[in-house]
Structure formats: C-alpha cells, structure tokens
Amino acid sequence: MKKKSFINRRQFIKAMAGLSIAPAIGLTSAAGADINQFGKLADTFTCIGCKRCMSACKRWNSLKVERNELVSDKNTDLSGNNWVVVNLRSDKKNKTQRNYMHWACQHCQEPACAGVCPVSAIKKLDSGPVVINEKKCIGCRYCYQACPFKVPRFDFEKRVTRKCTLCYNRFPLNYKKPACVAACPVGALAFGYRHEIIREAKKRLHDLKKPGYIMGIEEAGGTAMITLLPARPENMGLIQAPKKIINQDLDKIRITSGGFMGASIIAYAMYLYSGIIINPDKENNDSTN
C-alpha cells in the first residue's frame, strides 16, 4: 500500500521555488513577525472629538502649531507638523451616522513608502512602527506618491517628509503607550500587540451590536493601525486602500520588465529601420567603386 506523504510533490516543488526566490527579493516572514508587533486601535464609535490626541502628539514630537488647524472640525489635513488629525465625518449612505475619525499613518505591514525611498530613509521597525529618518530624507516626496493612504507630508521648513512614528522613541523611556493613546480621555485609542488589538476591535464591535467595519486587517496588506468604523472607509470619506496583498517587489519587476520589453521592441525596430531604408552613404560608396 502506498504510504500517504505529508505534502505532495507539487506542493514540495512550489515550496522550494518560493524558498529560493524569497531571499533574492528580500521577503521576510511577516506572519512570524506579527506576534511581536505593536498596533494601535482607533475606535470611532467612542471618540468624542476632543482632539487631545492631536495636541499630545504635537507636545511629544515638538511639532509647530499651524494656523487654523484646530478651528476646523471637518477639513483638518495632515501636514509636516500635523501627524494626527481628527475630523467629523458622516456616512455617505446614512447621513445621520456621524463619527470622529482619528487619522494618522497606518504603519503598513508591508510599507510601500519604505520600498520606494531611494536612500533607504524609511524603515519598518521590528516592533511595528514605520519610521522616517529625517537626517537621511532628501525630500523627494516619492513616499507620498507610493503611500496607499497619502500620509507622509512635506515639512517646508525642515525640507523633509514627516509623519507619525507611533512614538517609537517613547518605548525606551518606559512609557507604555504613544502620546496620543495616553492622552485619550475616553479610551477611544488603545495600544498593544497587533493581534491583541485586532481581537479587542472585534470584541468592541461585537459588544456594540451595530453594523461596523474594522479597517486595517487586510487593507494594504494589513496595517498596525486598526480603525473601528461605522461603515466602509470609502463611505466615511477615507481613502480606500487596495485589499489585495501583492508582493510589491515582484510587481515592480513585472512593470519594469514591461518597459524593457518595450525597449527591446524599439531596438529591433531601429535595427529594421537601419536595414530597410537604403543608406545613401553606402549607395554613394558602391556607385563610386
């Protein structure tokens, strides 16, 4: 009797192919690293819009206070000195449903910004935060273009791109939470291991007994920031990030090879052009000979 193997031949070949390609394109095991990564929960059902998180963020990170930024309750935008914003948004399908949206860097599990920074100034730390090294940043703003949530903003005074760091510099000082979470008076913000935060978000949604949506589990391949919303992000006026988890590096190789294929076709067309069109010089030389 044929012994049943643990994996079949096809699965084995697939696994081996994956293992051989993975180091070449710089893949890391996100699933394994997930357990030790921190995350932040923003519960828009609980948020009262006091904006203490905004001022705490400014205090801790020594950010400048900009004109009009606390006046508006609807259109406060992220900037080089505004890493966290709170805006009142209503559900497009149900206008009576109005919630305060806490919006900041989502700290993607596979950050597109870090993948495009030409000088490797952006890093995803092992503990979860995605951090810009401001002393290295050249201010090209390519990270802003690549970010699925359009978060990193240019600081015109410092001439670098800046964004939320999830207060990673508070951990060595034994502060257990980011400044915004510590300042929240109603517990709308929470901080902990990402998997625990996801569990907490699900629990809160279950306890609410209302329809809702948990943003950050799958968006852009998963994010450290988990937001509890009353409706889908696009209905709440937030940017809808693609849910598919694509391998950014393989995708880049695919697109670039498209360009190189075009270049090869152009080179072949030039070769044909140089052969098909009669060369007057050659003609003249031939005739003189």
Partner 1 sequence: MIQQIKYKSHSALDAMGKKKSFYIWITCLLSMILLCGFALLASFVTSLEILEFSIKIPWAGMISTYVFLVAAGSGLCIINALGAVFGMHRYEILGKRIAFLSLTLIVFGMLCIVLHLGHPERMPIYNAISPNFRSAISWMGALYSGYLLFVGLELYLLIRPDLFKRSLASTGRIRTILTLLTLEKFKNSVLVKLLENPGFHKVIGTLAFLAGISALSMLGSVFAHSESRTLWYGPYYPAYFIVSAIFCGYAFLIIMTIISHKTGDDPMPAQVMSLIFEMAQVLALLLAVGLLFITCRITLGLFNPLQQGPLLLLLKGPFMVGFWGFEIFLMSILPVFFLLWGAQRKSLPSVFAGCIMVLTGAFVMRYLFVVAGQIFPNISKDLPTYLPTLMEIFVLLGVFATFLLVYTMGEKVLALKETSSSSLPEKSNDLIEEHIIKSGVVNERL
Contact with partner 1 (CB under 8 A): which of 174, 260, 287, 289?
Answer: 260
Collapsed DSSP state (helix, strand, coil) of residue 265 = helix
In terms of Cα–Cα distance, which of 53, 54, 50, 52 is closest to 65?
54
Residue 69 engages partner 1 in binding (rule: CB under 8 A) = no
Q: Which residue has the tokens 């900041």?
A: 104
Nearer to partner 1, 17 or 138 (CB): 138
- Residue 4 CB, shortest distance to partner 1, in Å, is 42
Residue 203 engages partner 1 in binding (rule: CB under 8 A) = no
| Radius of gyration for the alpha carbons in the chain, expressed in angstroms and rounded | 25
Residue 32 engages partner 1 in binding (rule: CB under 8 A) = no
Euclidean distance between CA atoms 188 and 46, whole angstroms: 5
Residue 23 engages partner 1 in binding (rule: CB under 8 A) = no
Residue 30 engages partner 1 in binding (rule: CB under 8 A) = no
- Residue 156 CB, shortest distance to partner 1, in Å, is 5
Euclidean distance between CA atoms 111 and 108, whole angstroms: 5
Residue 237 engages partner 1 in binding (rule: CB under 8 A) = yes
Nearer to partner 1, 195 or 252 (CB): 252
Q: How many other β-carbons are positioned within 10 Å of the β-carbon of residue 59?
A: 11
Euclidean distance between CA atoms 145 and 33, whole angstroms: 27
Nearer to partner 1, 153 or 194 (CB): 153
Nearer to partner 1, 157 or 207 (CB): 157
- Residue 188 CB, shortest distance to partner 1, in Å, is 24
How many alpha carbons fall within 13 Å on the CB side of residue 226?
27
Collapsed DSSP state (helix, strand, coil) of residue 153 = strand
Please give the C-alpha separations between residue 211 and each of 14, 111, 206, 271, 284, in angstroms, as whole numbers.
40, 29, 9, 63, 83
**Which x/- pattern, by CB under 8 A, does the window 102-121 give for partner 1?**
----------x--xxxxxxx
Number of residues that bind partner 1 (CB under 8 A): 64
Nearer to partner 1, 18 or 258 (CB): 258
Collapsed DSSP state (helix, strand, coil) of residue 173 = helix
Nearer to partner 1, 126 or 251 (CB): 251
In terms of Cα–Cα distance, which of 39, 43, 40 is closest to 212?
43
Residue 245 engages partner 1 in binding (rule: CB under 8 A) = no
Nearer to partner 1, 8 or 133 (CB): 133
- Residue 150 CB, shortest distance to partner 1, in Å, is 4
Euclidean distance between CA atoms 121 and 232, whole angstroms: 33
Euclidean distance between CA atoms 136 and 129, whole angstroms: 18
Residue 21 engages partner 1 in binding (rule: CB under 8 A) = no
What residue ranges bind partner 1 (CB under 8 A)? 26, 77, 79, 112, 115-121, 136-142, 144-148, 150, 153-154, 156-161, 237, 239-242, 246, 248-249, 251-252, 254-263, 265-267, 270-271, 273-274, 277, 279-282
